[in-house]
Structure 1
Amino acid sequence: MLLVAGALERMAWNMMRTTWSAGGEAFLVANAVSEGRGFAGAYGNHTGATAHLLPISPGIGGSVYWLFGYTPLAEVVLASWSIGLALGSYLLLYRAFGRLRVPATPRLVALAFLCLAPTYVAQEAVDFRLWEGGLAAFLSALMLEQVLASDDDPARRSHRFAIMATAPLLFFVNPLLGVAAFLLLLMLWAGRVRWRVLAGRGAISLALLAGLVAPWAIRNQQVLGEPVLLRSNAGLELAIAHYPGVPTHGDRYSAFMARLHAIHPLQNRDAYAKLAALGGEVAYSRALGEEAMATIRADPRHASAVVFAHVGDMITPGTWIFRLWGIEWLAPLQAALASAVGITGLAGLFVGVATRERRWLFVAIPVAVPILAVAPFQPVMRYTYLIYAPLAFCAAHGFVVATIGFRKTLRRGHAAAEPRSRPSDAR
């Protein structure tokens, strides 16, 4: 019933929207794929081949548009896919935390919260039709659940094969969570199987990853002139986050939007003209990255403050982050919900790790890696989303531990307050 209610809420959101599809670079690339122009057009129609995004999520969207055209049916299919990924990831995490022996009731509370709270409703209903966040979160939840299952039953090969295949696929969808996935494999098997076995299993996963990355890199060499292994926009993203005078407090929304419109080729035609003059998106991103690194070297103290602000944005995203391409009146509530989950979730995760139960490290890794890896860049909603659901279940665990501790304290207090009976005097 919770999953049905969550699906209905997101369907209602779609029906109330004035626009019917996802936007941004992912839509433009999906549009190019559907029209037979290949993986192209990230900065506008007919702007040429791109590696601005990894190909799986926009490729799925483009295939649906190719089959059904830009029709309501296509959007229904993609919306069902996006919503299904979100609710599926929640269900997988419900199962995963059950394997960690978190009781059913708090897990149901966390599941109900995730299904019904409007924290990331727009991303789950719309954006993740074409953007990678929904698929990345789903694969990460699947990875965690199957790693815990394999830890419970090491002899069962289905769990082993699942995680060996999921880790490289997740890496090619979202490299940050992919790194976490490979760390989970290392933690699961190191010290438990012989090094020869560990090396063999790792080689299989790396070979699968190479089977995804190599064709992409070869294609990029042919159409972009350089063998880009993953995405071409790291320098661009770093430059959006680091420039002289970037604020760490105050009106960060206006500063971010001004910077985005100043240097992003999709937002600024002069920026696109500079991109073309430099020889393409790879050279443009590299030049911006060099400028950003020069800014960091010129004032490392301020750069460190920016990085710490980004860590805070990942854990407690402010209202301004939810205003980015969001709903103005809903943003304060979304920020409050996400921040509450971030704070209580980290507390619950700390409690789990502090018990010295090694299995809680399986949860900590896919939470810590995105926080630290995104820190040099400016987090936006599709990045803060990656740790939201795991932390919600961690918060449920923390609530259980706090409740048990509170009850024990009350019992000790009552026991101390009871008057001690005195033996009667002998007569």
Structure 2
Amino acid sequence: MGPLLLELIAAGAFISGGLSLLYLPGTGFGDNFEAVQIARALAAGDGYANPYGGYPTGPTAHLPPLFPLLLAGLFWLFGPTPEAGAVASSLCVAAHLLHTVLLVPIAALLVRSRRAGAWAALLAVVTPPLLVLPQWEAIYAGAGLMLFCLASHRWTAARGLCAGVAARCGAFAGALALLNAITPLVTGLWLLWLSERIAVSVAVKAKFLTLTAAFAGVTVAPWIVRNWLVLGAPVPLRSNFGLELALSNNEWAGPSQLGNWRRPEVARLHPTLSAEAREEMRREGEIAYNRRKLAEALEWIGQNKVAFLKLTGARLVQFWWPVDEMSGFHIFTVRLVTVLGLAGMIVMIVRREPAAWFLIGASLLFSLPYYLIHVTTRLRFPIMWVSLLGGGYFLEWAARRLVRLYRAGAL
């Protein structure tokens, strides 16, 4: 694939990413986005705090720290102004471009076909399944996971499974965890798959993986210590699982996040949308509040097992086959990528592509936590590149078959 095609893909990704901002009424830097509120508190010198509508609920670990820190840097430079939102949107469009361009080398690495990557990038540009959401880390996490796979492969190919490579991989994986709390499921599986394909002893592989995990832990440790000192509990990455589980599993909840926000009975339970819930959190403290919510959710699940299983099944379906989103066109594009990605995975299995099982495993592992809470397509964005890669692989395979049939006179 020549440089001209790569440049065309990049230009298309830039245009596609910019146009996708039209899905939102502006940059979306409003009171309902926790990362933005934390960033405002950081820029104002109030620390990592107050994620809910700017209300003084106190110190938080609602989100991992890296993305709010990025936004805080913009607010520090520009203030809470439209200019800060414009720069954040521009950075997110750039991340969208990077995400699209990286599909070419990741396809070359995993399925040995840059053409499949070009088809995947074309699919990402034409549909596109990824919305540019400057108030969330999702696209950054997706691009980061692809970079992690490419970089760790390059390091291990050059230096093997040595301690220095383990340090690099661990630091990179830890940084991704501080960006998105679910990424360790993918980075861990990738390192297992990668080390398995290197011809060294089991002891060397085990040492490498142990060292990598240790270096990842060292990278995350300052955040854990901060949470222990400030919040009174060693929160590993984020603290809001109890809240989300309670919001998603109750007598009024449905599988869709947007659908739940429309239900007053559910909306009143979330501190972002309810002054009463914010006051409860401020009074109890974030850790105690989330522990109480976790207990309430587990009690409801225990008493309503059938309803919980139905909700879980519906969330599983809607994670891969969205129903309730902000745009019917977006629903269509995500469904299209899902179908093409699944078709590509089937072709990979039939053709015995070694990476097929990693790609399938990464998608399934990443999705598992989200079957427990209400879903929206944004939650899938960090792993959408797998479906795009599968779709590109299928389109390349189908195009080759059509060309052969045409040349054979069958078409």
Normalised by the shorter chain, which TM-score bucket? 0.7 to 0.9
The aligned residue for residue 3 of structure 1 is: 10
> Any unmatched runs of 5+ in structure 2?
1-7
CA distance in 2, matches of 1:247, 1:77: 35
The CA RMSD over aligned residues, in Å, is: 3.1
Do the aligned residues in 2 keep the contact of 1:93 with 1:145 (CA within 8 Å)? no
The aligned residue for residue 189 of structure 1 is: 195
CA distance in 2, matches of 1:105, 1:196: 37
The aligned residue for residue 350 of structure 1 is: 346
Deviation, 1:280, is 1.1
Count of residue pairs brought into register by the alignment:
397
Deviation, 1:296, is 1.7
CA distance in 1, matches of 2:234, 2:257: 35
Deviation, 1:187, is 2.0
Matches within 5 A, 1:11-410: 11=18, 19-20=26-27, 22-23=29-30, 24-45=33-54, 46-101=56-111, 103-123=113-133, 126-127=134-135, 131-147=136-152, 149=154, 155=160, 163-190=169-196, 192-247=199-254, 253-258=258-263, 259-277=265-283, 279-318=284-323, 320=324, 322-323=325-326, 331-402=327-398
Query: What is the identity, as a one-letter code, of the residue corresponding to 1:307?
Result: T
Give the TM-score normalised by structure 1. 0.82
Query: What is the identity, as a one-letter code, of the residue corresponding to 2:316?
Result: V
CA distance in 1, matches of 2:14, 2:405: 41
Against the structure 1 CA distance between its residues 407 and 301, is the aligned structure 2 distance closer, same or farther, given a 3 Å change threshold? farther
CA distance in 1, matches of 2:378, 2:23: 21
Query: What is the identity, as a one-letter code, of the residue corresponding to 1:381?
Result: T
Against the structure 1 CA distance between its residues 156 and 370, is the aligned structure 2 distance closer, same or farther, given a 3 Å change threshold? closer
Against the structure 1 CA distance between its residues 343 and 410, is the aligned structure 2 distance closer, same or farther, given a 3 Å change threshold? same
The aligned residue for residue 4 of structure 2 is: none
Do the aligned residues in 1 keep the contact of 2:343 with 2:394 (CA within 8 Å)? yes
Do the aligned residues in 2 keep the contact of 1:26 with 1:53 (CA within 8 Å)? yes
The aligned residue for residue 418 of structure 1 is: none
Do the aligned residues in 2 keep the contact of 1:34 with 1:65 (CA within 8 Å)? yes
**Structure with greater contact order relative to length (CA < 8 Å, sep ≥ 6):** 2
Q: Deviations over 1:40-63 (max 9, x none)?
A: 110133321111111000011102
Deviation, 1:95, is 0.8
CA distance in 1, matches of 2:397, 2:17: 32
CA distance in 2, matches of 1:78, 1:271: 30
Give the TM-score normalised by structure 2. 0.85
Query: What is the identity, as a one-letter code, of the residue corresponding to 2:237?
Result: L
1:263 partner SS? coil
Query: What is the identity, as a one-letter code, of the residue corresponding to 1:273?
Result: E
Q: Deviations over 1:300-349 (max 9, x none)?
A: 2321221121111121112x1x22xxxxxxx0111011011112212212
Do the aligned residues in 2 keep the contact of 1:216 with 1:229 (CA within 8 Å)? yes
Query: What is the identity, as a one-letter code, of the residue corresponding to 1:182?
Result: G
CA distance in 2, matches of 1:162, 1:215: 18
Against the structure 1 CA distance between its residues 211 and 411, is the aligned structure 2 distance closer, same or farther, given a 3 Å change threshold? same
1:121 partner SS? coil
Q: Identity of paired residues, percent?
A: 24
Q: Deviations over 1:356-399 (max 9, x none)?
A: 33222232232121222211111223212223232122012123
> Any unmatched runs of 5+ in structure 1?
324-330, 415-427
Query: What is the identity, as a one-letter code, of the residue corresponding to 2:38?
Result: V
Query: What is the identity, as a one-letter code, of the residue corresponding to 2:62?
Result: H
Do the aligned residues in 2 keep the contact of 1:6 with 1:115 (CA within 8 Å)? yes
Do the aligned residues in 2 keep the contact of 1:49 with 1:223 (CA within 8 Å)? yes
Do the aligned residues in 1 keep the contact of 2:39 with 2:68 (CA within 8 Å)? yes
Deviation, 1:15, is 8.4
